[in-house]
Amino acid sequence: MKIYTKTGDKGTTALFGGTRVDKHHIRIESYGTIDELNAWLGLIRDQEIAIPIKNNIALVQEKLFTVGAILATDPEKAILKNGKERLNIPKITANDIIFLENEIDAMDAELEPMTHFILPGGHTVVSYCHLARTVCRRAERMASHLNTMETTDIMVLKYINRLSDYLFVMARKLSKDLKAEEIKWIPRKKD
């Protein structure tokens, strides 16, 4: 299989199912942003962090491939003529969301309660987490926009939303683990 097909040389690409759309179509932006998020998570996983966190990131990365595949499928062509689903991939389920919620709760239980917003930074790994979180929020905005145009799997929308919360708490947990200072955002009074 060759990497280049030349079929996108005129600015279009094919969704799963064969529908061709512009490369700037909101569906492409949605799953492209998920792909970008997955790359950031790979960078975080490559850092010197606890093995359980690395393992959880790898699980999330696998789920993001599923999310990307779902978003890359034309909903009108998701079901074949014989009634079978076009993609033979797992779905995003309530259990996937519960996993994130359980991990959020477990990490949060080890942290000081939040009393202020926190400025991103303090350690390179923590900054990577905040970058991933903001990319996740952008993916969520894209998927939400797509959902206003074409019905999108609600579990995908929920998963992306919960994932951004997970990434925020993971940044806080890694700040603690790496003994990085969390800088509270305290608005300055006007001079």
Tens of pLDDT, residue by residue over 156-169, are 999 999 999 999 99
What are the Cα distances from residue 91, in Å, to 57, 71, 77, 115, 133? 18, 11, 16, 37, 22
Closest CA to 103 of 187, 51, 169, 158: 169
State mean pLDDT over 3-11: 73
Is the per-residue pLDDT at 122 higher than 70?
Answer: yes
pLDDT at 85: 76
In Å, how far from its chain's centre is CA 117? 22
Q: Is 90 helix (H, G, I), strand (E, B) or coil?
A: coil
- Average pLDDT, stretch 89-106? 95
12 sits in which H/E element: strand 12-14
The larger pLDDT score, comparing residue 90 to residue 30, is at 30
pLDDT at residue 30 above 90? yes
Q: What is the pTM of this model?
A: 0.89
Read off the pLDDT of each residue in 38-44 and give the average, rounded to a whole number.
98
Residue extents of the structural domains in the chain: 18-80+87-181
Band the pLDDT of 7: cuts 50, 70, 90: low
> Residue 81 above 90 pLDDT?
no
* Rounded-to-integer distance, Cα 79 and Cα 139, Å: 25
Q: How much is the pLDDT for 25? A: 79
Whether residue 83 is predicted with pLDDT greater than 70 in this model: the reply is: yes
Architecture of domain 18-80+87-181: Up-down Bundle (1.20)
**What is the band of 1 on the pLDDT scale with cuts at 50, 70, 90?**
low
Cα gap 88→69, rounded to integer Å: 10
